[in-house]
Structure 1
């Protein structure tokens, strides 16, 4: 099939923090970008289209994919960045907590990834990236996180399955597993304590995540990998 020249990245959870950093990074790479979140405003950049919606709702995924293919004609990269974290002791999670986290972290991943893969198959290749957490590999008594581990650990397993299922058809699948990143989610007064939870002695920055995703974007021989960007947390303490 004949494709437009410019590559296209679809990024979820893109209104602030890591998502906003990824939008800027992919524009610098020359990609057109379709970005979504519940609160994302319109963009002044004609090569950035925003779709406001809850990724837990499959209708948002449908609109996101339709916008990418209808306006830009292709999907080359999907970054499943949207994520919800609620840290509680296991027995204190409510049904509402469970449904909210499953909705964003798993249901949100599922439909948009299906649609992106369908388009990537039509055009002969693409790249999928999941943003996950080191807590899925390295549990911490200081951070009760069963629902994060359940969902983000599931994404890491799905990352490998997608990589193997579609390797022969030109689609790569990777994950970036994060430590605690300095974003608007974390009030500044806790930075010193949060920094100590990493062997490197600091919190991560949005640019640390962006660098990792940029590497995976250009690493054409890398698939099925979970790249730890976590200040050493997954290695031990």
Structure 2
């Protein structure tokens, strides 16, 4: 019987997602990594699945790959997402459709399939990567569409955690501040740092440590772990 733990990570080609892949590998997990542009890899402990997570068929393919290749799904990290910062009245129908399909649809389809695999074993963990802005808005960063979609993921944490608490499946979230990743140009780092009470941006390692803390804390469920430089406390 295969007892090696298996993690599925979306949005895994760069930035936080790529850091999470390395973090779970360092714990001895096998990893199935997904993004639209991820490079093909099929190794002893790592396989990649390219595709748009907003497509339900891609979600099915990711979970089937985990089961076929490694036998199970123990952890799902819903990291894939988009952030569109615009004044509310400037959002287009295309902006709305993209945010809903990726941030909400992408979470919904793959989480259903992952939990369905976890239930017979009575063991599993789902982690959603959200944003502190959905709880603590900042006038410098218009973010209503992110709050609408990532806020939905944050709310689902409590609901799913309670629904599955007595069946061995934990559900948590990490709420990052603004993290140094390739999506943020270096010339904007000083501005972004100033949006945090600690006056610095977070790092990919900060988020990875937060997720791995939750992974290794079996008594923690229904939790939003803020890794946000104090944003959730005030500004």
> TM-score range, shorter-chain basis?
over 0.9
Q: Do the aligned residues in 2 keep the contact of 1:176 with 1:227 (CA within 8 Å)?
A: yes
Q: Deviations over 1:92-145 (max 9, x none)?
A: 000000000111100000010000000000222100000000000001111001
Alignment partner of 1:104 is 2:102: yes
Residue from 20, 23, 29 that aligns with 1:22: 20
- 1:168 corresponding residue in structure 2: 166
Taking the TM superposition and a 5 Å limit, the aligned residue runs for 1:188-227 are: 188-227=186-225
- 1:12 corresponding residue in structure 2: 10
Name the SS for the 1:35 alignment partner: strand
Q: Deviations over 1:69-94 (max 9, x none)?
A: 11110100000000100000000000
Name the SS for the 1:118 alignment partner: helix
Q: Do the aligned residues in 2 keep the contact of 1:74 with 1:123 (CA within 8 Å)?
A: no
Name the SS for the 2:196 alignment partner: coil
Name the SS for the 1:4 alignment partner: coil
- 1:151 corresponding residue in structure 2: 149
Taking the TM superposition and a 5 Å limit, the aligned residue runs for 1:54-203 are: 54-203=52-201
Q: Do the aligned residues in 1 keep the contact of 2:42 with 2:48 (CA within 8 Å)?
A: no
Structure 1 portions without partners, runs of 5+: none
Q: Compute the displacement of 1:43 (Å).
A: 2.3
Moved over 6 A (4+): none
Q: Deviations over 1:197-233 (max 9, x none)?
A: 0001100000000000010001110000000000000
Q: Do the aligned residues in 2 keep the contact of 1:182 with 1:206 (CA within 8 Å)?
A: yes
Q: Identify if the C-alpha distance between structure 1 residues 44 and 63 changes in structure 2 by more than 3 Å, giving closer, same or farther.
A: closer
Q: Do the aligned residues in 2 keep the contact of 1:203 with 1:231 (CA within 8 Å)?
A: yes
Q: Compute the displacement of 1:44 (Å).
A: 5.9
How far apart are the structure 2 equivalents of 1:45 and 1:116?
22
Name the SS for the 2:209 alignment partner: helix
What's the TM-score, normalizing by structure 2?
0.99
Structure 2 portions without partners, runs of 5+: none
What's the TM-score, normalizing by structure 1?
0.98
Name the SS for the 2:140 alignment partner: coil
How far apart are the structure 2 equivalents of 1:136 and 1:55?
22
Name the SS for the 1:5 alignment partner: coil
